[in-house]
Chains A and B, each alone.
Chain A
Amino acid sequence: MSKILVMPSNKDQIKNLLNDVDGFILGLKKLSVNMPSYYDIDEIIELNDFLEKEGKELFIAINKNIHNEELDYLKEMLNKIDSLNVKAILYYDVALVNLKEELNLKTDLVFSEEHAVTNYATINYWNNMGVKYAYLSNELTINEIKEISENANSKLLVCAFGYIPIFNSERKLIDNYFKTFKLDSKSDKFYIEKEDKKYRIIEKNNITEVYSDYILNAIKELKELDNISYLVFNSFDINEEKFEYFIKSYKFLDEKDIVKLLENVDKGFLYKEMIYKVKKYEK
């Protein structure tokens, strides 16, 4: 049976959900993206102690693309985290794989390259490099997830619930729009809209993030698979009370109840086979 991990919105939520989950994934300030909350290293140390005492697992996301100027800070953070009892670090940038070897880190890594964890051969490539976990991309069909789960050598994490990240840029797209057209707003939360669908857009630490218009709900499908080690529930942009109620009660809710509770839930790519060649040419 899969364990349950939550990406929480804040420290209170960690405490509120302690008895309902197996662990948490936390963002590290300055080195993480696409997370609902971020913590500095002192907070991570404090939370690690707390969760260890409670018998819960802690994963840390260090999943931004790293520039040279961030490497010293990254090394410092990796060394500090390595002295904790953290289960594993989710990484995007392969710099972390190199640093694990060079710094002789004992903490495991999670291959978490957002949209590139899409086949078992790549997961096994990283496994051969010492990466023992993989967090699957969201653009997979349920059949693809099943096939990967049957052939991958790493322990798998899969997002079962939450808004999914769909875009990251090092351009400050909201700020740029305001500056170009000399605009102003009292609001600090924005979304973009197309054909009545709303996509959350945020700027943080010089990164623009955009999220899906729907909350992925893949719980039912993923629970039927045998080899998924962790189901991930992401609290990003979901009303805290509703999210906590959901975590405590989803096992007893049927699909209709979930839709009633959260309205914009969707099956994401589970049943959508992507296409990529749309033109045919005479050869």
Chain B
Amino acid sequence: MKNRPELLAPAGDLERLKIAILYGADAVYIGGSILGLRANARNFTMDEIKEGVKFAHKYNKKVYVTVNIILHDKELKVVSDYLKELEKCKVDAIIVSDPAIMAIAAANTNLEVHVSTQKSTMNVEACKFFKKQGIKRIVLAREVKREDIIRIKEEVGIDVECFIHGAMCSAISGRCILSNIFTGRDANRGGCAQICRWDFDLKDNEGNKIEGEKPFTFCAKDLSMIRYIKDMIDIGIDSFKIEGRMRSIYYVATVVNTYRKLIDSIIADDLNESDMDKYEEVLKRVANRDSMTQFYNGKNDYTCNYYNGREELSNQDFLGIVLDYDKKTKLATIEQRNYFKIGDEIEIFGPNINIINMKIDKILDEEDNEIDVVRHPRQIVKVHIDEVVYPYDMLRKK
């Protein structure tokens, strides 16, 4: 029997938390109103954290809160009270980078502490140190190789969490202040302005521009470990992390749902190549940038770099989300997210249904008038669907 790893999803707000849980995440990680590294995500108020934890626990899932900024003195005074509040909310763990927060958590709470990837932990000696301090889990550096992970598991025996999907820092996490230098926004306190994605001129010492077909940039392609999930299960990684607290609900639903199905198939030993191709295709469609494996299998070469020069595609696949379904009339109430019309071939997917393929043949507006086109953002309409669908199911282009 294979170990069943945790599937850990990002949740930028309460809606995405619910989506991630419903679509198959075993745990979500979120940011509170302060002390997290995504200061410009919507994030959660304390009441929302409470509600999110309650929701997750109802489904026997976990909520981790990122408290992973590098503190300056002025932030020190709020840490203790904030952690106590998180403990009252019954969060399952906090994700921490600054050891001062580890110490404050240990002195004032019984919170479980995970070490953030911001610490760029790569070796057994560092892991041993954290284990001695009572740390339960380490989010390993993105730069670790498969062999590093095996050795850490064997020699230290601490829970490890590894990224499987999403954007990659070009820098060693924590070793970049490009954002501070170029914009005055502190990367290590949640203000990262992603300067690594800017174009630069690369010049030699004499001032001659080194000119490729596209400008120089620091940027790395996104990570996709879909073809290595079985191997990652086999070597005993405890938690598979999806990056992207700033991503849309559609992205979260699609990526979580795909990895959920993939992991479950691997555990059940019934994964076939055609399913694998389908999962890969779905993930490619939801992405707006190129992705590949990187350090895990030693693929740290020039093919990992991403150079600008084409518009990043905004995803138009996501058509709408189901709010309700009337079994008598077979009409689903839908909130629109992208333009669709009568005659469109669509798919409906969700956590509790098999994928439904259909052609749209009837749309009603809010006054029950038949319409041909749904073009207004977040317009509420009713769509005829023969099979039963549920709230939070999603419509996408076929």
Contact = CB atoms under 8 A, between A and B. Distances in A.
Contact of B213 (A66, A176, A181): A181
A174 to B, nearest CB: 7
Given A121-B71, A170-B300, A98 B129 contact: yes
B184 to A, nearest CB: 6
A177 B40 contact: no
Contacts of B184: 272, 274-275
The size class of the interface chain A forms with chain B is 35 or more
Most buried by A among B71, B123, B307: B123
Contact of B171 (A126, A167, A191): A167
Contacts of B304: 171, 176
Contacts of A166: 176-178, 180-181
A176 to B, nearest CB: 4
Contact of B126 (A93, A124, A167, A279): A93
B174 A116 contact: yes
A104 interface: no
B224 interface: no
Given A98-B126, A168-B176, A283-B45, A148 B200 contact: no
B110 to A, nearest CB: 19
Interface in B19-44: 39-40, 42-43
A277 B186 CA distance: 9
Contact of A276 (B171, B186, B213): B186
Interface string A170-186: 11111111111101011
Nearest to A141: B72
B342 interface: no
B354 interface: no
Interface stretch (B3-11, B140-148, B236-244, B329-337): B140-148
A212 B213 CA distance: 27
Interface stretch (B214-222, B367-375, B384-392): B214-222
Contacts of B144: 67
Nearest to B176: A167
B205 interface: yes
Given A66-B122, A121-B76, A212-B181, A275 B191 contact: yes
Contacts of B141: 65
Contacts, number: 232
Contact of A169 (B99, B104, B170, B211): B170
B198 A167 contact: no
Interface string A86-109: 000000011111110010000000
Interface string B77-113: 0000000000000000000011110111000000000
Interface in A10-40: none
Given A65-B143, A190-B210, A275-B184, A170 B203 contact: no
A152 to B, nearest CB: 10
B205 A190 contact: yes
A167 B178 contact: yes
B18 to A, nearest CB: 17
Given A119-B71, A125-B99, A180-B302, 4 more contacts: A115-B174, A116-B188, A274-B180, A276-B39
20 contacts: A68-B123, A68-B124, A98-B125, A113-B174, A119-B73, A121-B71, A122-B99, A125-B99, A126-B99, A139-B188, A169-B171, A173-B305, A177-B302, A190-B203, A190-B210, A191-B205, A193-B201, A274-B180, A277-B39, A281-B42
